[in-house]
């Protein structure tokens, strides 16, 4: 249906803050792309520029090859779901959803039909007469979604739509939104700072930091092959150990990992689930604490200089606190100056 | 219009927007024409006056007259006395009410609050009428005293105490409201902590509460002083004919004596006496405004 | 207003709970004093309005009745004054709404040169002793021949409520989530449509309260009406001054007071529900 193209877009606010810095991105037809990053990384600003609520200082934005950079939000074929819902509290549910259609001058019968259809799609059939304050947070968010979908936008924009909901509801809505998005095959840009959300929903993830893209890729790629220590640390749990490579081996406080890289400072990244432990006395590290989650356990480890690491163990009860262990990374990545210089993936 | 208005974020104000200026122009011009300009022109007109031969020059004679005229000085003295007494009484009456409303836990706080705010909704003209019916000669309290076999009240009606009582009554709600809003920033935990380390209620008041609300007290006093100094209706209806407060004095000079220059001179002198309170009031409102944009 | 916020803030203070009985004593004392000072005078006025004979030293009127209501309501000057006051308040509030609401919107949503200073300039009307200010305005009106005219009085009242009519709506507009307006733009509404369909309805309760407050304030304003208007322009309060000063029949004033006070009190209590504590406290610098 629609392709969104962002070309070398920058946004510099009046105070001189650079929110988005020369960013390019293409979202293909029917794709759901997540903008993921910590607060202040520019992801919301980027979304608001696509929606027309901020104007880029530089660069262009295209929808299906049409330049919309200077178009007012009401003229753009985009629809936004706001974090705060931004529902109009003086209108009931039906009127909230119908407002955009009424502006288009559709006949009343058609409006009714469309609104009822979309309310049913978001699971709110029969709620039309309710006032906004009579709805729960989750229902309000569904209304906001319906209000956007009813206009059949080319691009759907979601700005941390689940941030104000509790964990349980968030997971349910996440699935529902993903289902609807796939059913309608609507091109979607989704902003979140929650990695779970990004990993579970996105076709592709854009990890942002300081207004730039740190990595763009499929969720599994971003998770398994983080290109920078920032991405490695931001997505999932990651042990990041800074140390020195000397004579073909990474060393830090008793650990030694042979690596085929040049000497110099380096950051070693190992996922807890890729870090195996072998009991050894005195061992490279000491078990500090064991947390049993039932299906698996997390073992907190301490190196001799106090550095803490985590390991995921399927048999946590085989270990006890204070015991010495040797570390065996099954997969690891090595970074130098924020660039990947070596990757070893066994499995 | 709101290409500017609704969608441009506040950070984006670098675009010049004459439309905004245009929209606020009329009210602002009204303020300039009917507040700023009259005040400037009052000072100019009373100091640079025509000498009768078409020659305009510096002439402070109206001020000299005011400050040498016993009657004018008596009026000024009465005004200062009334303002001072009212300010003191207001504080004495309103601080306990505000403290009770903030910290009291009895079931009658709601009632006390309603009563303390009620005068805000009673126009001063009705207040004046009620005052006369209640505290005037043979008024209601006289009836009650008579019924109890007690001597009659020495009525404050048409004495300097008449306006004092009326003005205090009139100003209680705003003073209570301002003090309450100041007390809102006294944290419960601060009070609890102080009591925890052994402070009694008076010490809590002196060391914890008063320092926190001193600014609110000053604002409340400024507001009261600005309102009371040149009050007209209540002193005019309840006060003595001579000496009189600045409000009725100015009105009489302007309307009855038909001497605008003298009346404006009196107004400028009132401004001068209140300027500090006015500045303080503006400053604290402006600061408040800055705090919550 | 602030008082409303104060009640909600009132969390239990355990350390003071022990002296609850004492606090209640203080409350009862305050309640009695305030009742004597606030309720009794108003009740006495109400009694007077419905009494036909009340001679000293009887505690209550000897004869109740509506005779003086009939007499008061058959006076032409009362109807003239009421009509004039209603006309004056309506005109002033309407003009204020037309010029102030767009200005409030501009203050709350737009950026322009000197915005903050201009916004604070409305304080000027309240930063000087009021009657002194009125006299200096009167001196200007004297040259413009506005003394004793309807529009002279109207202008004075307009200045009087200008700050209300700017500051309260500004607070109302600022309280509206900007995203609501953006969402409306997003579904295709132009800026004017957004203002009309979203912003104004959202701000309506507060704005109506401000209008009501301004209306009542103007209706009862005495100082300016007396100085600028009297004797040609006789608003209701000006008439009331006459009743107090020169009228032998006490009940006329009482009837007029009751007649005027009850609806205004209802209106104002209604208004108070809608105006947030902030809007008020800010106007008073608290």
C250 preceded by cis ω (within 30°)?
A: no
The pLDDT confidence band at residue A6, using thresholds 50, 70 and 90, is very high
Q: Find the range with the poorest average confidence among A214-223, B122-131, C260-269.
A: C260-269
Task: Check A13 against B7: CB less than 8 A apart.
Answer: no
The pLDDT confidence band at residue B72, using thresholds 50, 70 and 90, is very high
Which of A5-9, A160-164, B55-59 has the highest mean predicted lDDT (pLDDT)? A5-9
Which distant-in-sequence residues (6+ apart) come within 8 Å of C198 by Cβ? Answer: A88, C176, C180, C181, C184, C189
pLDDT score at A31:
94
Alpha helices in chain B (DSSP H): 18-31, 37-47, 61-68, 70-103, 109-117, 124-135, 140-147, 161-183, 188-196, 201-204, 210-229, 233-238, 246-251, 260-291
pLDDT at A219 over 80: yes
- Subunits next to A (3 or more Cβ pairs <8 Å) are B, C
Indicate if A195 and A274 belong to the same structural domain.
no
Cβ pair A148, A81 in contact under 8 A = yes
pLDDT at C9 over 50: no
Q: Which residues in chain A have their CB less than 8 angstroms from residue C190's CB?
A: 72, 74
* Closest C-alpha to C3, from B199, B96, B266, B110: B110
The parent domain of residue A196 ranges over 4-226
pLDDT score at B138:
82
Cβ pair B159, B189 in contact under 8 A = no
* Closest C-alpha to A175, from A120, A138, A126, A127: A138
pLDDT score at C271:
67
pLDDT at B201 over 50: yes
Question: Where in chain C are all domains bearing CATH 1.10.3720.10?
Answer: 70-283
pLDDT score at B3:
32
Phi, psi of A77 (to 5 degrees): -80, 40
Segment B258-270, tens digit of pLDDT: 899 999 999 999 9
Cβ pair C7, C220 in contact under 8 A = no
- Residue B194's alpha-carbon distances to A105, B199, B205, B214, C21, in angstroms, are 65, 6, 10, 18, 21
Indicate if B232 and B251 belong to the same structural domain.
yes
Task: Check A147 against C179: CB less than 8 A apart.
Answer: no
A277 within a domain of the structure (yes/no) = yes
Indicate if A145 and A87 belong to the same structural domain.
yes
The pLDDT confidence band at residue A19, using thresholds 50, 70 and 90, is very high
- Subunits next to C (3 or more Cβ pairs <8 Å) are A, B
The pLDDT confidence band at residue C274, using thresholds 50, 70 and 90, is low
| CATH architecture of the domain with range C70-283 | Orthogonal Bundle (1.10)
Segment A48-90, tens digit of pLDDT: 999 999 999 999 999 998 999 988 888 889 999 998 888 998 8
User: Of A226, A251, A269, which marks where a domain is finished?
Assistant: A226
A272 within a domain of the structure (yes/no) = yes
The pLDDT confidence band at residue A313, using thresholds 50, 70 and 90, is confident
> And the tokens for A156?
């759907």
- How many residues can be counted in chain B? 293
> And the tokens for C10?
């009132």
The parent domain of residue B273 ranges over 68-291
pLDDT at C5 over 60: no
Residue A264: CATH number of its domain: 2.40.50.140
Distance (Å, whole) CA B256 – CA C156: 20
Segment B175-186, tens digit of pLDDT: 998 898 888 888
Distance (Å, whole) CA B249 – CA B75: 8
Segment C116-161, tens digit of pLDDT: 889 988 888 888 999 999 999 999 999 899 999 999 999 999 999 9
The pLDDT confidence band at residue B10, using thresholds 50, 70 and 90, is very low
Segment A94-136, tens digit of pLDDT: 999 999 999 988 999 999 999 999 999 999 999 999 999 899 9
pLDDT score at B41:
92
pLDDT score at B67:
93
Mean pLDDT of chain C, nearest integer: 82
Segment A182-193, tens digit of pLDDT: 999 999 999 988
B276 within a domain of the structure (yes/no) = yes
B11: nearest CB among A15, A52, A73:
A15
pLDDT mean over B217-225: 90
A156 within a domain of the structure (yes/no) = yes
pLDDT score at A213:
92
Mean pLDDT of chain A, nearest integer: 89
Percentage of residues of chain C with pLDDT beyond 70: 85
In chain A, how many domains are there? 2
The pLDDT confidence band at residue C272, using thresholds 50, 70 and 90, is low
Task: Check A53 against B7: CB less than 8 A apart.
Answer: yes
Query: A283: phi > 0 → left, psi -120 to 50 → alpha, else beta; which?
Result: left
Indicate if B157 and B86 belong to the same structural domain.
yes
Best to test chain C binding among B174, B245, B285, B287 (most C CBs inside 10 Å): B285
In chain B, how many domains are there? 2
Cβ pair A40, A24 in contact under 8 A = no
Segment C155-178, tens digit of pLDDT: 999 999 998 899 889 988 988 988
Convert chain A into a string of H (helix), E (strand) and C (coil).
Answer: CCCEEEEEEEEECCCCCEEEEEEEEEECCCCEEEEECCCCCCHHHHHHHHHCCCCCCEEEEEECCEECCCCCHHHCCEEEECCCCCCCCCCEHHHHHHHHHHHCCCCHHHHHHHHHHHHHHCCCCCCCCCEHHHCCHHHHHHHHHHHHHCCCCCEEEEECCCCCCCHHHHHHHHHHHHHHHHHHCCEEEEEECCHHHHHHHCCEEEEEECCEEEEEECHHHHHHCCCCHHHHHHCCCCEEEEEEEECCEEEECCEEEECCCCCEEEEEEECHHHEEEEECCCCCEEEEEEEECCCCEEEEEECCCCCEEEEEECCHHHCCCCCEEEEEECEEEEEECCEEEEEEECC
pLDDT score at A170:
87
Q: Which residues in chain B have their CB less than 8 angstroms from residue C95's CB?
A: none
pLDDT at C17 over 70: no
Q: Which residues in chain C have their CB less than 8 angstroms from residue B124's CB?
A: 220, 222
pLDDT mean over B145-171: 88
Q: Which residues in chain B have their CB less than 8 angstroms from residue C40's CB?
A: 134, 140
Indicate if B203 and B122 belong to the same structural domain.
yes
B5 within a domain of the structure (yes/no) = no
Indicate if B143 and B195 belong to the same structural domain.
yes
Indicate if B42 and B163 belong to the same structural domain.
no
Indicate if A168 and A312 belong to the same structural domain.
no
The pLDDT confidence band at residue B153, using thresholds 50, 70 and 90, is confident
Residue B249: CATH number of its domain: 1.10.3720.10
C223: nearest CB among B30, B144, B232:
B232
**Which burial class, exposed, middle or buried, applies to A344 when counting CB atoms under 10 A from its CB (0-12, 13-18, 19+)?**
middle
pLDDT score at B291:
58
Residue A48: CATH number of its domain: 3.40.50.300
pLDDT at B7 over 60: no
A209 preceded by cis ω (within 30°)?
A: no
Percentage of residues of chain A with pLDDT beyond 70: 99
pLDDT at C286 over 80: no
* Closest C-alpha to C129, from B246, A121, B19: B246
């Amino acid at each position: 249906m629609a392709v969104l193209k962002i070309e070398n877009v920058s946004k510099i606010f009046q105070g001189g803050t650079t929110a988005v810095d020369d960013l390019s991105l293409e979202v293909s037809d029917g794709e759901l792309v997540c903008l993921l990053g910590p607060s202040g990384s520019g992801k919301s600003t980027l979304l608001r520029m696509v929606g027309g609520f901020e104007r880029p200082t530089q660069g262009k934005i295209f929808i299906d090859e049409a330049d919309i950079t200077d178009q007012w939000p009401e003229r753009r074929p985009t629809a936004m779901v706001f974090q705060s819902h931004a529902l109009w509290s003086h209108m009931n549910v039906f009127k909230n959803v119908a407002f955009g259609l009424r502006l288009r001058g559709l006949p009343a019968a058609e409006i009714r039909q469309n609104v009822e259809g979309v309310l049913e799609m978001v699971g709110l059939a029969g709620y039309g007469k309710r006032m906004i304050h009579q709805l729960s947070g989750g229902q309000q968010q569904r209304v906001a979604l319906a209000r956007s979908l009813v206009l059949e936008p080319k691009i759907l924009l979601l700005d941390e739509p689940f941030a104000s909901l509790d964990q349980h509801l968030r997971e349910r809505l996440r699935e529902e939104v993903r289902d609807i998005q796939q059913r309608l095959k609507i091109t979607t840009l989704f902003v979140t700072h929650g990695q779970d959300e990004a990993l579970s929903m996105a076709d592709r993830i854009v990890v942002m930091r300081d207004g730039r893209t740190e990595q763009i890729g499929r969720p599994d790629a971003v998770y398994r092959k983080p290109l920078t220590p920032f991405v490695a640390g931001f997505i999932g749990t990651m042990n990041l150990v800074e140390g020195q490579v000397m004579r073909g081996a990474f060393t830090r406080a008793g650990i030694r990992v042979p690596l085929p890289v040049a000497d110099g400072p380096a950051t070693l990244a190992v996922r807890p689930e890729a870090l195996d432990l072998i009991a050894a006395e005195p061992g490279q590290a000491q078990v500090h604490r064991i947390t049993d989650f039932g299906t698996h356990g997390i073992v907190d480890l301490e190196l001799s200089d106090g550095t803490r690491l985590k390991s995921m163990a399927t048999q946590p009860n085989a270990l006890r606190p204070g015991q010495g262990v040797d570390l065996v990374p099954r997969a690891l990545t090595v970074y130098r100056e924020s660039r990947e210089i070596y990757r070893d993936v066994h499995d | 219009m709101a290409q500017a208005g609704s969608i441009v974020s506040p950070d984006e104000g670098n675009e010049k927007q004459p439309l905004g200026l245009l929209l606020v122009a009329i009210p602002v011009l009204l303020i300039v024409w009917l507040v700023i300009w009259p005040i400037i022109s009052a000072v100019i007109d009373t100091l640079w006056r025509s000498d009768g031969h078409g020659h305009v020059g510096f002439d402070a004679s109206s001020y000299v007259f005011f400050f040498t005229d016993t009657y004018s000085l008596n009026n000024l003295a009465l005004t200062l006395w009334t303002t001072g007494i009212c300010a003191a009484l207001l504080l004495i009456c309103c601080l306990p009410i505000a403290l009770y409303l903030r910290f009291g836990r009895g079931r009658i706080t709601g009632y006390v609050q309603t009563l303390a705010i009620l005068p805000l909704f009673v126009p001063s003209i009705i207040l004046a009428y009620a005052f006369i019916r209640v505290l005037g000669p043979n008024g209601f309290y006289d009836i009650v005293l008579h019924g109890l076999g007690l001597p009659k009240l020495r009525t404050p009606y048409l004495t300097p105490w008449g306006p004092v009582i009326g003005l205090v009554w009139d100003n209680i709600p705003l003073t209570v409201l301002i003090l309450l809003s100041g007390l809102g920033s006294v944290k419960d935990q601060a009070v609890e902590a102080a009591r925890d380390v052994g402070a009694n209620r008076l010490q809590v008041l002196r060391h914890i509460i008063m320092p926190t609300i001193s600014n609110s007290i000053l604002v409340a006093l400024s507001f009261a002083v600005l309102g009371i100094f040149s009050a007209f209706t209540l002193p005019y209806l309840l006060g003595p004919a001579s000496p009189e407060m600045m409000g009725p004095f100015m009105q009489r000079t302007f309307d009855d004596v038909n001497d605008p220059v003298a009346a404006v001179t009196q107004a400028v002198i009132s401004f001068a006496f209140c300027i500090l309170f006015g500045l303080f009031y503006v400053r604290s409102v402006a600061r408040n405004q800055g705090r919550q944009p | 207003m602030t008082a409303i916020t104060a009640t909600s803030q009132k969390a239990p203070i355990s350390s003071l709970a022990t002296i609850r009985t004492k606090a209640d004593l203080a409350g009862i004392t305050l309640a009695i004093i305030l009742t004597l000072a606030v309720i009794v005078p108003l009740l006495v006025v109400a009694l007077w309005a419905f009494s036909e004979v009340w001679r000293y030293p009887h505690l209550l009127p000897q004869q109740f009745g509506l005779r003086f209501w009939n007499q008061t309501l058959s006076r032409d000057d009362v109807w003239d004054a009421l009509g004039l006051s209603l006309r004056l308040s309506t005109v002033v509030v309407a003009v204020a709404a037309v010029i102030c609401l767009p200005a409030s919107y501009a203050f709350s949503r737009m950026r322009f040169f000197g915005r903050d200073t201009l916004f604070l300039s409305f304080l000027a009307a309240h930063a000087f002793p009021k009657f002194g200010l009125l006299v200096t305005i009167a001196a200007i009106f004297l040259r413009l021949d506005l003394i004793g005219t309807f529009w002279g009085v109207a202008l004075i009242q307009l200045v009087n409520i200008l700050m209300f009519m700017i500051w309260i709506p500004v607070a109302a507009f600022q309280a509206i989530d900007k995203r609501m307006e953006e969402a409306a733009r997003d579904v295709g509404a132009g800026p004017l449509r957004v203002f009309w369909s979203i912003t104004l309805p959202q701000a309506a309760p507060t704005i109506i309260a401000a209008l009501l407050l301004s209306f009542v304030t103007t209706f009862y304003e005495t100082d300016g009406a007396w100085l600028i208007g009297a004797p040609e322009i006789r608003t209701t309060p000006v008439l009331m001054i006459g009743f107090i000063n020169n009228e032998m029949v006490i009940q006329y004033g009482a009837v007029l007071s009751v007649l005027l006070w009850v609806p205004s009190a209802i209106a104002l209590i209604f208004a108070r529900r809608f105006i947030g504590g902030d809007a008020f406290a800010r106007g008073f610098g608290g």
